[in-house]
Amino acid sequence: MAREYETVIGLEAHAHLKTRTKLFCACSAQPDPAPNSHVCPVCTGMPGVLPVMNKEAVRLAVRTALAMSCRVQTASVMARKNYFYPDLPKNYQISQYERPLATDGEVPFHVQGTRRTVRLVRIHMEEDAGRLLHEGGASLVDYNRCGVPLVEIVSQPDLRTPEEAAEYLKALRNILRYIGASEANMEEGNLRCDANISIRPAGDGALGTKVEIKNMNSFRHVQQALAFEAKRQAELTDRGGRVAQETRLWDPEALATRSMRSKEEAHDYRYFPDPDLLPLSVPQIWVDEIAREIPELPAQKIEKYTRDLGLPASDAQTLVDDLELVAFFEEALRSYPEARPLANWLTSELVGLLRQAGKTIAGGPVGPTALAGLLGEVDSGRISGKMGKELLAEMVSTGASAASIIEKKGLRQITDEGDLERVVDSLIAKFPNERKRVEAGEIKLMQFFVGQAMKETGGKANPPKLQAILRRKFRLS
């Protein structure tokens, strides 16, 4: 019988900081499809050049550290991590080792509505390497990415399932986007992640041998790769084998990890403080200033939406996962304070319609006040919910407001009691058999009259009022 194992996962995430220029030179840090178009002697590692630290990169890294509740060190040290690879022209990467920018910290995240936290070991700054392109049997190198600033966010091995790992990584992405520190897009490579994973017999305190997994380019890959690896390690151990400490690559086509190399140790990199750079000094007064500018964070919003506004956890998560959606929601909430129906119309109706039309929420055809206006019309009973949905579709395609479409099409619901009563009376006279059956107790046939009244009025009869009149006529209430 297979033994029960507990999976232990820690993630190292790398995020590109959203600066205009690179970490140590004035080259553009923006992606460019033309290879080697953003390069200079500094980022291509020419002899005799000197790196100059980009202050904005430090500011964004400090902002990231504060948003993740880290302790920011007022003095930290840039170090050389020495290794040879063709995409690294200096043969070392400027990173941080013994004295990182920030330590400790924690990141809250939600798994199916339940709040969890992951502790962080550290956040440090480093430069990115270039990219190798393999084309037509040749390998080419593009140095555009060389020297782009990164933060590396190292977690404690606090995660227990692949799903938790993916949710934690999404929470990281959300924080990075909320504070404007990074685009944090995994598919575009400006958020990347390596995972350390081991298994141990359930209830055991000691950690098993860990395997590092690389090359996961989406949240789905992270979850798939970790699930595969946990299973591989469990089956190997059950067969009496031993898990080797190594680096494995995720192969998204084969849906499997494969061995890449035995894991290098820190001492293999011969770290030492970079003699070209002074210790990085971040005065406390600057840290305090940056702290004051941190906006409301995703986890705070989720708490607020579920606790104060009564939104279902899934709706709160959907809103918070998308910066544009959350901004739209909060803006609309100012003119229409019913959070639940608003979230529902926004996430299921409007988003769906926009997706079909190939349009986006920000700057799209229906703004927050326009949606709020439509919901006001529905609430007032002037139009039904069903009419509201049709109206919304028209608002998406034309950009017109609910009120103007209602006016133009004469869509107002019939809410006048006298008008509705006249319709009901004529139907009762028109269908004497059905009337008798209802009177004999066949209550379900009431729906027949509702349907007929809707047909008669072109769908404009106000349903609650219509029901009330019918019940009164048949003496049911």
Radius of gyration of the chain (CA): 30
What minimum distance in Å lies between the beta carbon of 142 and Zn ion? 13
The stretch among 40-48, 194-202, 274-282, 455-463 that binds Zn ion (CB under 5 A) is 40-48
CB closer to Zn ion, 40 vs 294: 40
What minimum distance in Å lies between the beta carbon of 87 and Zn ion? 15
Strands (E), 235-368: 246-251, 256-262, 272-273, 280-281
What minimum distance in Å lies between the beta carbon of 212 and Zn ion? 30
The stretch among 19-27, 123-131, 267-275, 391-399 that binds Zn ion (CB under 5 A) is 19-27
CB-CB contact of 405 with 411 (8 Å): yes
Please provide the DSSP assignment of 122-159 as one string.
EEEEEE---EEEEETTEEEEE-TTTT-EEEEEEE-S-B
| Count of positions on this chain that bind Zn ion (CB under 5 A) | 5
Q: Which of 8, 43, 391, 461 binds Zn ion (CB under 5 A)?
A: 43
Please provide the DSSP assignment of 387-439 as one string.
HHHHHHHHHHHH---HHHHHHHHT---B--HHHHHHHHHHHHHH-HHHHHHHH
The stretch among 39-47, 127-135, 200-208, 457-465 that binds Zn ion (CB under 5 A) is 39-47
Assigned token pair, 446: 């009431």
Query: Does 42 participate in binding Zn ion (rule CB under 5 A)?
Result: yes
Distance CA 256, CA 224 (A): 8
Residue 15 burial by Cβ neighbours in a 10 Å radius (0-12, 13-18, 19+): buried
The stretch among 24-32, 100-108, 348-356, 440-448 that binds Zn ion (CB under 5 A) is 24-32
Backbone angles phi, psi at 112, to 5 degrees: 45, 50
The stretch among 25-33, 45-53, 61-69, 133-141 that binds Zn ion (CB under 5 A) is 25-33
Residue 261 half-sphere exposure toward CB, CA atoms < 13 A:
4
CB closer to Zn ion, 43 vs 311: 43
CB closer to Zn ion, 43 vs 186: 43
What minimum distance in Å lies between the beta carbon of 122 and Zn ion? 27
The stretch among 9-17, 38-46, 310-318, 403-411 that binds Zn ion (CB under 5 A) is 38-46
Q: Can you say whether residue 111 is alpha, beta or left, with left for phi > 0 and alpha for psi between -120 and 50 degrees?
A: beta
What minimum distance in Å lies between the beta carbon of 24 and Zn ion? 8
Q: Which of 12, 28, 35, 40 binds Zn ion (CB under 5 A)?
A: 40
CB closer to Zn ion, 42 vs 325: 42
Residue 300 half-sphere exposure toward CB, CA atoms < 13 A:
8
Q: Which of 15, 17, 23, 27 binds Zn ion (CB under 5 A)?
A: 27
What minimum distance in Å lies between the beta carbon of 43 and Zn ion? 3
Residue 234 burial by Cβ neighbours in a 10 Å radius (0-12, 13-18, 19+): middle
Q: Which of 15, 23, 25, 351 binds Zn ion (CB under 5 A)?
A: 25
What minimum distance in Å lies between the beta carbon of 17 and Zn ion? 16
Q: How far is residue 112 CA from its own chain's centroid? A: 14
Binding site for Zn ion (CB under 5 A): 25, 27, 40, 42-43
